[in-house]
A = this chain, B = another copy of it.
């Protein structure tokens, strides 16, 4: 089944101690869409400016991403630039130029409104709402977020959390949202906000899935000897996860664990190159090989 993905579509300029990489394809929706495309047909909702490079449209198309929902507006594409420290753990934003994103209103083409799986990748919660409002009756809705929205749009975000089946956030965001340091207790508090499934991403430490009935799954991260650029890893994780989920037969409960592992695998590839450079070239057999390796790495 298809996956509809809304989020940011951006140009990222990423500086590390070793290299500068200007105007890479980035944004939560770009990473999530390419990650999901390995498993299922993807429908993209986003906006880019007139300056958006043709080669990036070609990249989307190479991954068979449906671009009917991608608005190309006059103006500049959202541009983020940031810098990583030597250890790749600390990132600081150098500049954020919203460009055409400033006035973005997602409009869903008629052909998108019946999409069964929806991923509301990281973007303002008001826009995530706006997309959901245009959907008919999606089978499964996942929303990701970031600390920015906890800081400046919490009421919108809380309303959104109530509307989704699965809410995804990282460990520090979970602590901020619940004022609770212990993640297991934080998960319980987040369920009270509405969603049946909650996933806390912990970067190199993997992720935890919690279901409302108290079930937990500890998902490992694929161990990498070298991280080139972790930008977009979290988006790749949710993208790969929802992509696999939409393609798998059987119940969500049954498939979510394996879907998270697939998400971890795509996220690991994402970390091995700048922007989408490495993910773009990944093959399905390479994904399956790492999936099997993760099974071996955790078996006891």
Contact = CB atoms under 8 A, between A and B. Distances in A.
A87 interface: yes
Interface in A261-299: 261, 295, 297-299
Contacts of A94: none
A47 to B, nearest CB: 36
A211 to B, nearest CB: 12
A241 to B, nearest CB: 12
B223 A218 contact: yes
Contacts of A86: 181
Contacts of A227: 182
Interface residues of A, number: 34
Q: Give the number of copies in the complex.
A: 2
A202 B183 CA distance: 16
Contact of A225 (B182, B206, B225, B300): B182
A258 B184 contact: no
Contacts of A300: 217, 219, 257-258, 260-261, 295
A220 interface: yes
Contact of A188 (B202, B208, B225): B225
**Lowest 3 A-B CB distances belong to which pairs?**
A87-B181, A257-B300, A205-B205
